[in-house]
Amino acid sequence: MEENFIDAETKLENLLSEYKPDFAKDYVIASQLSILNNHKSKSLNWIKKSFKKGVKIECLKTIPILDINLENSDWELLDNQFTELNAEYNSKINLRLSEEFNNNYQIEQINKSKKTYKKIVYSNFINIKKRLLNGTYPSEKLIGIDNTDFAEKISECELDNAKITVTLLHYDYPFSELTEKRLFNAIKMGELHPREFAIIYTFEKNKISALYKSSTKSKNRLSNYNFNFPFDKKIKDYSKVNSDRAKFGICEYEVDKQKKSIEEKFGMKLRFGYR
């Protein structure tokens, strides 16, 4: 598959300009595409926009294509503007809830091998469920991306909402309780990333969570999607896989397979946590 980075930059730029999604990783990918296409000023603008989504400058310096192609003066300029732009991000999210959910993740991770683990997962799930039933998924838009300041065991440079997704992966039958309809609606509202939806669905479909061993609940019938995600039972009918992916706005399977080699070849970061 041939790379066409100019076309990719144009399409992503149009998407970000028209829909203004709240997923920080998209702005970081846009900055990489721009620098790859020798559009440095655009790259710097996307980086500034990413600061407004919670991205920390230290995370960007770990991405080779940005670290190599931006000069010290560029980083100094970004450093000077970071505090103000990051303050804008903090003013838009609910910091109290962000700290609460990050702390919940931390407690869940610490208790992973203990008898208290299941009880803690259930408690964290109930908090998520209450939010969703009230019409607000605890999304990046509401509580921001993962924050090491609130939970040292979380990876903030993955620009993820793992503090929510991990609980849903560890809970037995989250789809059955939250319902596919509500989760799909969260995607339409820009609150749940399509790839997060797919990985949660895949876990439930294939009974990955250790909690299933002791679950007394009944599993609802799921729609039959095949995303060929990790832990999925891979199928070779790629037309079905890509059709199912397209329903949720997920890239084609063949594109996903190319991401690692593109990262290695160009020093990019295209894969982020569960996104």
**pLDDT digit string (tens) for the chain, length 275 residues:** 567 899 999 999 999 998 888 899 999 999 999 999 999 999 999 999 999 999 999 999 999 999 999 999 999 999 999 999 999 999 999 999 999 999 999 999 999 989 999 999 999 999 999 999 999 999 999 999 999 999 998 999 999 999 999 999 999 999 989 999 999 999 999 999 999 999 999 999 987 777 777 777 777 788 999 999 988 989 999 999 999 999 999 999 999 999 999 999 999 999 999 99
Angle at 58 between CA 93 and CA 6, to 5 degrees: 85
pLDDT at 273: 96
pLDDT at 2: 61
Residue 77 in tokens: 């300029």
pTM for this predicted structure: 0.94
